Amino acid sequence: MHIEQRELPQAEADNPVLAIRAAVKRFGARTALNGLDLTLRAGEVFALLGPNGAGKTTTINLILGFLKPDAGAVQVCGIEAGSDPVGARGHVAYIPEQVALYPGLSGIENLRYFATLAGLDLSVDASRRLLTEAGLPEEAQGRPAASYSKGMRQKVGIAVALARQARLLLLDEPTSGLDPSAAADFSVTVRHAAERGTAVLMATHDLYRVREMADRVGVLSRGRIVEDIDPKTLDHVALEHLYIERLAEITA
Amino acid sequence: MKRVAAELALTVRDARVRWIGAMLVLLLALTGFGAWREAQLYAAQAAQITAAERARWLGQDAKNPHSADHFGLWVFRPSAPLAVLDPGTEPYTGRMVRVEAHVFNDAVYRAVQDAGPLVRTGLGTIADIVQLVVPLAAILLGFSAFAADRERGTLRLALGNGAPPGRLFAARFAALLLVLILVVGCPLLAIGGLVMTGQDGADWQVPARLLSWIAVQIAYASVFLLLAMLVSLVARTARAALAAALVAWVLLCVAAPRLATASVDALAPALSYREVRARIDAGFRAHKTAEAGDERAREVLTRYGVDNASELPVDLDGLMMFENESHNFAVYDRELGAFFESLASQERAFAWAGLLSPRVALQALSQTLAGTDFAQHAHFVWSAEAYRRRISERMNGEIRDRPQQGRGRLIAGSELWQQIPPFVHAPLPFTQSLADARVPALVLALWLALLAGLSLPMIRRLKP
Ligand SMILES: Nc1ncnc2c1ncn2[C@@H]1O[C@H](COP(=O)(O)OP(=O)(O)O)[C@@H](O)[C@H]1O
Ligand SMILES: [Mg+2]
């Protein structure tokens, strides 16, 4: 990434970028989140690990203010996401699980349009750099997005998020549409963003990627984080073992 | 501004938008041009017949002035220049009024027999298009504003990456409004320009009327644009948004106006025309009996202090005719005045009935600004009546002031006919129309405020 990161005052940098306290979210009789706690500081990469239906996307929707918690609090840079979602989202960049683009617009046009909506002014050159950075080949950048594969759309989504230079980056199953080499490139991109001070929350069930990307891994079970570990302290096998143990608890 | 430009760029790339725009421009251009040709034809005919009538009046034989009063003439109501855009009440009211002794021709609801072919074919006017088709176009432009993005998933990417919903809404609204201004406002302006080149409508203040008229049509279109966008804010799919907006269109543009008409008729009924005419006849009859006539003749002799009509310094028949007419004028003023007032109060009630449907508010506003409202027609009818009374008074006065003392009936010639000036009608000024437009303008503004007020909390809660 060649975009300069905004300087943060020291005091602000010390405050958590994301603070979720005892968040509860119910869908009818079903409790998706049941007292979730999560604190994330600048520069940290947190992997939210859990099987399908564990509540990862729900957590992200709470942070974005797309859903309101039934109890508890979600704060982004000190802003309550439930009551001021627009303010909270001002600090967030987000790559949804399914990146949807305007099929009639090219990758560059899509990127520039989303940037404009966010109040950014992105030149064509800067857009090309970002898309290349995100791994979209030059020759594809000018083609209508209708012809893009899921992975290519994902890469445009990455560029949209990177252009934001936000304090918090939310990734919902970011590597699910990428081939292995693109996923590896993406890991590098995410690490770069973290080095520049971006806090990253990544929902995934991709155990393999977690070790090379995340500083912390949380295992989501029964609507709360039951394990918060440093993946470097465990080898692959141990991590997998732990995860499966937890999974067994959930399905039990 | 950047956001608006981006939205505009995205909007005009949409084939659907281009189709809608092209259809509207074509429809407005064809209808407007047809109406303009029609108006030119009418103006030429009116000028021709007016000249012929004037010649017929001036060229009439020497005769008794009262016979000349009965000879009469036709006067034309000048069509408002902007009747090309909104004919308003013009097709439903008489275009010609016969000016003759004793008879007040009111030319109300003379309907189809002398309406133009455009109306007879039911082909629709510019006003019809603006009232019905333009809202439909606004809905077709606006329904997908957020619902399609939600359905596609692009709304999630946009909102999750810092697009503020308020600005997004404002930018999309502005872009679509600009499209509407382009495909509706510009053709209307062009038709208005055509109108201004052709006619000398100086006393109509056409430019001011035209600009305010177009502004009002755009405001009306934005009601439906807002409505469609509002539905789009919450609808899950674009299809659902379209369906809901179309239902609203049917209710507001088709059903509610009928309801408005029915309620106005029920709450502010117009006086029965037949009863009014019967009361006028009764008023005349009471005055016209032989005894009453003898009584008035005796009263005149007493007034002049003479015993015999031949000693009067004036002609007794002429004087009595003059005074009888004054009585008749008073009866007309009272009865037809009340009748016209009942129609005018219906019009006022109709403007308030715009609370049921923005189309009803627009109708009232549009006619008033175009100068084709009922007030203009009533103004014409009374000015034609004033002209008629001037003729009657001049003719009866001539008889009264030239007693014949047994030399038979007075015969007058063209010098007298020439003393009657041609009929010139000055329409109600634009300032008057503006004053009359206050209520419907307020009602239309309320609709806009209501929709804007409803959309604010929905925008704040916008979800992907
Ligand atoms: N809008 C919703 N309505 C009802 N249930 C929902 C809704 N969103 C999520 N859920 C339920 O909440 C649980 C968590 O879902 P989600 O957060 O999408 O899981 P994950 O992203 O971890 O796969 C699931 O059981 C899901 O069925
Ligand atoms: Mg999910």
Chain B residue at shortest CA distance from A113: B6
- Name the CA dihedral angle for A156, A159, A163, A167, rounded to a multiple of 10 degrees: 110
What residues in A contact B162, CB-CB < 8 Å? 89-90, 92-93, 117-119, 164, 166
Identify the pLDDT of residue B383. Answer: 92
For the stretch B158-201, pLDDT in tens is 999 999 999 999 999 999 999 999 999 999 999 999 998 866 66
Q: Whose CA is nearest to atom 5 of ligand 1?
A: A27
- Tell me the CA–centroid distance for residue A223 and ligand 1, in Å: 11
Q: Does A102 sit within 8 Å of B163, measured CB to CB? A: no
Query: What is the arithmetic mean of pLDDT over B344-360?
Result: 92
Distance of CA B413 to the CA centre of its chain: 40
What backbone torsions phi and psi does residue A74 show, to the nearest 5 degrees?
-125, 120
For the stretch B225-235, pLDDT in tens is 999 999 999 99
Confidence band of B115 (pLDDT split at 50, 70, 90): very low
Nearest to A128 by CA among A116, A140, A146, A120: A140
Identify the pLDDT of residue A149. Answer: 92
- Tell me the CA–centroid distance for residue A32 and ligand 1, in Å: 6
pLDDT > 80? residue B94: no
- Tell me the CA–centroid distance for residue A35 and ligand 2, in Å: 18
Distance set, CA A36 to CA A11, A16, A50, A72 (Å): 26, 16, 13, 8
Confidence band of A251 (pLDDT split at 50, 70, 90): low
Q: Whose CA is nearest to atom 25 of ligand 1?
A: A53
Chain B residue at shortest CA distance from A68: B461
Most confident stretch, A184-188, B112-116, B375-379, B450-454: B450-454
B410 neighbors B421 (Cβ within 8 angstroms): no
**Which of A59, A86, A91, A121 is the best substitution to test chain B (most B C-beta atoms within 10 A)?**
A86
Q: Does A114 sit within 8 Å of B13, measured CB to CB? A: no
Identify the pLDDT of residue A13. Answer: 55
> What CATH architecture applies to the domain A12-91+166-251?
3-Layer(aba) Sandwich (3.40)
Q: Does B463 sit within 8 Å of A86, measured CB to CB? A: no
Query: What is the arithmetic mean of pLDDT over A75-89?
Result: 94
Confidence band of B363 (pLDDT split at 50, 70, 90): very high
Most confident stretch, A57-66, A178-187, A206-215, B54-63: A57-66
In angstroms, the CA A208 to CA A203 distance is: 13
> B239 to chain A, minimum CA–CA distance in Å?
18
Identify the pLDDT of residue A248. Answer: 66
Angle subtended by helix axes B238-249 and B206-234, to nearest 10: 140
Confidence band of B122 (pLDDT split at 50, 70, 90): very low
What residues in A contact B2, CB-CB < 8 Å? 116, 121
Identify the pLDDT of residue A233. Answer: 77
**Residue for token pair 């084709």:** B372
The secondary structure of A161-188 as a DSSP string is HHHHT-SEEEEESTTTTS-HHHHHHHHH
**Residue for token pair 């034989």:** B61
pLDDT > 90? residue B124: no
What residues in B contact A79, CB-CB < 8 Å? none
ipTM (interface pTM):
0.92
Q: Does A86 sit within 8 Å of B460, measured CB to CB? A: yes
For the stretch B12-70, pLDDT in tens is 999 999 999 999 999 999 999 999 998 888 888 888 989 999 999 999 998 999 888 99
pLDDT > 90? residue A69: yes
What residues in A contact B159, CB-CB < 8 Å? 64, 66, 89
Query: What is the arithmetic mean of pLDDT over B448-458?
Result: 95
B364 neighbors B351 (Cβ within 8 angstroms): yes
Please report which helix (H) or strand (E) contains residue A92, including its range: strand A92-95
pLDDT > 80? residue A133: yes
Q: What is the pTM of this model?
A: 0.91
Q: Would the CA dihedral through B9, B10, B13, B14 be positive or negative?
A: negative
Which A residues in the span 56-75 are in contact with B, Cβ-Cβ below 8 Å? 64, 66
Identify the pLDDT of residue A247. Answer: 67
- Name the CA dihedral angle for B40, B44, B47, B50, rounded to a multiple of 10 degrees: -110
Query: What is the arithmetic mean of pLDDT over B228-251?
Result: 95
What are the sequence ranges of the domains in chain A? 12-91+166-251, 106-165
Q: Select the more confidently predicted residue: A156 or A246.
A: A156
Distance of CA A62 to the CA centre of its chain: 13
Identify the pLDDT of residue B119. Answer: 47
Query: Is any Cβ of chain A less than 8 angstroms from the Cβ of B458?
Result: no
The percent of residues above 70 in pLDDT, for chain A, comes to 92
**Which of B1, B159, B161 is the best substitution to test chain A (most A C-beta atoms within 10 A)?**
B161
Nearest to A58 by CA among A84, A86, A83, A33: A33
pLDDT > 50? residue B93: yes
Q: Select the more confidently predicted residue: B184 or B402.
A: B184
Confidence band of B236 (pLDDT split at 50, 70, 90): very high
Could you tell me which residues come within 8 angstroms of residue A151 by beta carbon, excluding any fewer than 6 positions away? A177, A178, A179, A182
Query: What is the arithmetic mean of pLDDT over B85-114?
Result: 76
Q: Does A166 sit within 8 Å of B159, measured CB to CB? A: no
A192 neighbors A205 (Cβ within 8 angstroms): no
pLDDT > 60? residue B294: yes
* Nearest ligand for residue A220 CA: 1
DSSP state of A222: T
Query: Is any Cβ of chain B less than 8 angstroms from the Cβ of A207?
Result: no
pLDDT > 80? residue B433: yes
Nearest to B463 by CA among B3, B6, B153, B140: B153
Identify the pLDDT of residue B146. Answer: 94
Ligand 1 mutation pick, A25, A26, A27, max ligand atoms within 8 A of CB: A27
> A202 to chain B, minimum CA–CA distance in Å?
15
* Nearest ligand for residue A32 CA: 1
Query: What is the arithmetic mean of pLDDT over A58-76?
Result: 96
Nearest to B389 by CA among B21, B103, B79: B103
Average pLDDT, chain A: 88
Q: Does B156 sit within 8 Å of A96, measured CB to CB? A: yes
- Tell me the CA–centroid distance for residue A53 and ligand 1, in Å: 5
Identify the pLDDT of residue B109. Answer: 57
Identify the pLDDT of residue B23. Answer: 94
Q: Whose CA is nearest to atom 17 of ligand 1?
A: A55
